[in-house]
Structures are given as structure tokens and as C-alpha cells.
Amino acid sequence: MHAHTENDIPLEEIYIVIEGAGRMRIDDETFDVATGDSVLARVGTTHDLRNTGDGPLKILVVWGKSGTADYSDFGSAKLAQAARAHDVPQAKPA
């Protein structure tokens, strides 16, 4: 178990299972994961991952400082934030 805290480098990590099966703990929760699953470890949460399958466990970990940057050319992060805030205009019935 480990954590990335504000005193350390404050990282968020997304674990994406590419192949195999495992068990991930995030604080007091346990998740059984398999190919296609993903789990987010937010800043400051304790977390670990172990292989529970018969073969290799292959994962992709995307990590970085949490924030609201949007580096896409089409503004997907901004659109998602607006949708969560209910600022996206609703389509009118035809």
C-alpha cells in the first residue's frame, strides 16, 4: 500500500487492465479487476494492486497531478465539466 499525498508529489493514477485479473485496494475498498476494467486512485488515497490470475497481469497506468487542463483540440474535458454542472443546452424535441 502506498499513497501520493500533498506533501509528496500529489498524483492521481488511473489503472487500466489490459490483460489478466487482479485485486486492487483503494483505502478500505477492494475491487476485483479484469481485462477492460479501470480504477482511479485519487490524490492521498492508499492503494495497491496484485495479480490474482493464472497468467500475467498487464496494466496501463496513467498518472499526473490532478487538475482541469484540457489538451484536446475538441474541448472534451470542458464539455464534460459543463455537462456535470448542467450547463449544456438540452436538445429540443423535434
Residues above pLDDT 90, as percent of the chain: 46
Domains of the chain, CATH where assigned: 11-84 (2.60.120.10)
- Average pLDDT of span 13-21: 95
Map residue 42 onto helix, strand or coil.
Answer: coil
Pull the grid cell for residue 50.
Answer: 496484485
pLDDT in tens, 44-59: 888 999 999 999 999 9
Closest CA to 44 of 67, 13, 20, 70: 13
What mean pLDDT, rounded, does the chain reach?
83
Residues above pLDDT 70, as percent of the chain: 81
pTM above 0.85, yes or no: no
pLDDT in tens, 67-93: 766 666 666 777 777 777 875 555 555
Strands (E), the chain: 11-19, 21-26, 29-34, 38-41, 47-51, 58-65
